[in-house]
Chain A
Amino acid sequence: MDTVTHRFRDLNMIVDRVHNLFEQWKDENVFSSPLDEDTLHMLRLAIHEWVANLVQHAEFRDQEPEISINLMPSGARVFCTIEDNSLGFDLDTSLRVREATLESFPERGMGLLMLEACTDHLSYTQTEEGKFRLKFSVSADQDPWLHIPF
């Protein structure tokens, strides 16, 4: 699979459309070895959690939302970039706050932590064009763990 980019504008449909894409890629067997099935599910989960975060919490003000997802497989790793035209937020601080305040059997607050746990080199920064860009990679070589207090 070469690099692919998909753009979305409808926040009501984006989650279903992303999952439909993964089903299509699975049917077409576009991701080849050494990317195994579990790694692809991890990638799908990471993208879902971020998109869910954008849908529920991102501020787009008067602009029509624009979200683009770019995937670049490279051996046993997939590099992912998700750009949006929201007002952005401080992801690092949010992660540390959530980590520090995570309850036992938490009902909320796990999404960004799950995203961090199953990815490498996670960052969310502003681009030169004034958009915001999430970057991460998912590897077939890991057994990630989000420590939830039980």
Chain B
Amino acid sequence: MQPTSMTFTAETCNQHSRIIRIGKALDFRNAAEFKSSCQEQVRSGARNFILDFSETGILDSTGLGSIFSLYRQVSPLEGQVVFAAVSRPVQVVVQLTRTYKVFRQFPSVDAAKAALQ
């Protein structure tokens, strides 16, 4: 299966906060990699995750499920998962699933960083 060429690198904001650039796609092809990357960050002390969707053309059900998995990990630790720079295709998924009720959205990564400080 052709993998979506993507490595989910994390940018550190502070001791507990990370920015994850989602890139072109988060779907069934790379959701396991996303989950693994995030788990590594949680093990290193991260609790808050800013997901940068500025370049994302595909967020599917498996991708969304991996975000739910992250949320289930960090919420007992009083951590947060927030969405930044949500692209139109991602907004369609957010609207369809009403996940705006769970994940705060910010117009930019900088706005999300400011809110999580």
Contacts and interface: CB of A to CB of B under 8 A. Distances in A.
Interface of A: 11-13, 15-16, 19, 23, 37-38, 41-42, 44-45, 48-49, 52, 55-56, 105-111, 113-114, 117-118, 143-148, 150
B61 A117 contact: no
B99 A148 contact: yes
Contacts, number: 82
Most chain B CB within 10 A, of A38, A44, A48, is at: A48
Interface string B58-101: 10111011101101100000000000000011011101111101
Which interface class (under 10, 10 to 19, 20 to 34, 35 or more) fits B?
Answer: 20 to 34
User: Which 10 pairs, one residue from A and one from B, show the smallest C-beta to C-beta distance?
Assistant: A111-B61, A110-B61, A105-B68, A107-B65, A41-B92, A12-B2, A41-B89, A107-B69, A52-B28, A114-B61
A107 B66 contact: yes
B111 interface: no
Contacts of B93: 45, 114
A130 B38 CA distance: 44
Nearest to A115: B61
